[in-house]
Amino acid sequence: MAETCLFCRIAAGEIGSEIVYQDEGFLAFRDVNPQAPEHIIIIPRIHIASVADLSEEQRGVAGDLILVANKVAEQLGIAQKGYRLAINCGPEGGQVIPHLHLHLLGGKKLSDWIG
């Protein structure tokens, strides 16, 4: 855990959040500033700063993030109609929290671009 990382602190239970899914490797919770009716943040419990920082040994984390997203979409009842998955990488890519995370957005027809 990176002690100053907001998402690590959420994963450790130090900061409250509305958790919608958790297992030993991942945590999914509602975004505090939702951009869609369903906007979920999915994180690995281990601290990885960004997708660019994944090592060869951690390559399965990326696939597991997507599998967790699929489970959460099913759980929320949006899997059949569709949803968007997004990973921002670095400041110019829109990443605000330096902890690898996947955005799951759905619950309405989404525009062609999140802006």
Structure tokens at 36: 């869609």
In percent, the amount of the chain with pLDDT more than 70 equals 97
26-30 and 102-106 strand pairing:
unpaired
Q: Give the three-class secondary structure for 110.
A: coil
Question: Does residue 101 carry a catalytic annotation?
Answer: yes
Which segments of 1-115 does DSSP mark as H helices, in order? 6-11, 59-76
DSSP state of 77: T
Give me the domains of the chain, ranges plus CATH numbers: 6-106 (3.30.428.10)
Per-residue pLDDT reduced to its tens digit, 76-112: 999 999 999 999 999 999 999 999 999 999 999 988 7
* Pick from 14, 15, 10: nearest CA to 43: 10
pLDDT score of 114: 53
> Tens digit of pLDDT for each residue in 2-15?
778 999 999 999 99
Specify the DSSP class assigned to residue 109.
P
- What does the alpha-carbon distance between residue 95 and residue 78 come to, in Å, rounded to a whole number? 25
102-106/38-44 β-pairing: antiparallel
Options 39, 47, 99, 101, the catalytic residue: 101
Give 56's Cβ-side CA count (13 Å radius).
Answer: 0
